[in-house]
Structure 1
Amino acid sequence: MTQEIQFGETFDGQLLANAPKVRLSRRGIIMGLAAGSVFPFVSGCATNAATGDSQLLLFGDDQIANMAATAWTDMKAQTPQTSNSKLKGRVLNIWDRTIQGAVKQGHVSPNEQWDVAVFDTDDVNAFVMPGNRVGVYRGITELTENDDQISSVLGHETGHVVGKHAAERMSVTTAAQVGLMAGQIAVASSEELSKYGSAIGALGGAAVQFGVILPYSRKHELQADKLGVDYMHNAGYDVKQSVRLWELMSAQSQGQRPPEFMSTHPDPDRRAAELRNYINARGYALM
């Protein structure tokens, strides 16, 4: 089984599982389209101060934090946490230093509270859940070669929070559900297209998955990588180690990954290359 670092995937899975499903009758959607109420996302766009991106945000931070609260509590109850005080102390020390890098960048309030857990499993993974809940598995600490690489992981998770990626992905998924349903109604209403309704529906679902949701996920991963490098730099860590981390992952997962367009995460080689270019462009180091 491939040990692949899927930073951030856990929070997406938990949130999307709990995301509100669109359940409207055909009549309700038609009336909503006419009134403009089925597409609330038209007025749900906001500019993220940290990234400068315009985002579709149908859910607030408090809403998604509440959705994730039970999942986080269950995870801490069901997954063993490390009893190795040295390991836990090391992770927390790196976390404290890295989060101060985000504070220095002006992306995180110095008074924000975080809950960081170190889980005692072999998973080569780390994740963040809404509500500033960060999980680090022992497996990722064993894969990394130094504190700088762990800081890269933790900075990445912080980047997901700063980028409001959970709220954006949930919003895009919800909007996509509405769009698909509206398209199905249009097909069913057409005598000619209705003959091919099931085939068109299947193609529409694939188009949303591969053309909207997965690219959003890959965009978020690359964005979180770069934000994490900013925080590493501010904290005094060696940003070149963020590239080294993905070179290690590329070597480990060679030939075992699906094509990038079918994956929620960018290819490790692409991540290493984009980080190298970003570090050079920012003047953090010369690579």
Structure 2
Amino acid sequence: MNPWNTSDIPDQTGRLAIVTGANSGLGRVTATELARHGADVVLAVRNVAAGEDAARDIASAVPGAKPRVRRLDLASLASVREFADGVAEELGRVDLLVNNAGLVVLGPRRTTSDGFELHLGTNLLGHFVLTGRLLPLLTRGEAPRVVSLSSITHKTAHLDFDDLMSERDYRAAPAYGASKLATTVFGLELDRRLRAAGSPVLSALAHPGISGTNLTPRAWADRGRAGRWIARLGLLATQPVEQGALPQLRAATAPGVRGGQFFGPGGFREMRGRVVEAPASAEAADPAVGQRLWSVAQELTGVTYL
């Protein structure tokens, strides 16, 4: 069997897709391919100017495509609410939500505008609220899906519920890994709750392996010349971003995808290679962890659903 690739994406005409962080990297590739296959795509981005540049490039690459750009800052719950309210007023339904956006920040501990540790607040809690606010629109969609973007770093991470915001012990790399573990837990617990509710919405997950996005260079940007060299060397070990986006594109579009399925590269240690079904870590797949994280996320954000 040939490896799954973009030629396997079925016709997306008539589907409305929202991709967070779509101005660059994996999100931009994902938005481009969805548009290329007929979807009406909303680029949900923090930097509107960069989003407009991406939209122009997509429109140039895909004749007839008219991607929309809307501001979304996942590090601000007020921005998430404003975005979701605007989508509800303007569009009325959503068929696909790709929770792609994420960040890696090296250096001292930072927080979101709501006081959450920046990795957890952006990578998990912003998307938790966004998904909840858009769920009524997704429920009205055609074969609706939510795709959450994980990372292979989730497999060596651990959620310390006694210090979830890393206030006592902050280290950047473990904080990022914990946020991606939390994102994986969220995607799997979302699947359980959607099934229990009899919802038509499907929750699937993906991770890109080690891909040549701008996250690593951006994370090292403030670490001086040595940091920039580390970033460049790191990119030598990556696979192209076009390959890295395939797992989330498969999760988002492939016929027969089941709720809770997790896709990633099938090569050495899942760092690169053809798209296969990937196992989540034992902690990520533990329903007790899912229930606990869900309760904490609801308490922290004030958003309750399912």
User: What TM-score, normalized by structure 1, do the two folds share?
Assistant: 0.26
Higher strand share: 2
Higher relative contact order (CA 8 A, sep 6+): 1
Structure number with larger C-alpha Rg: 1
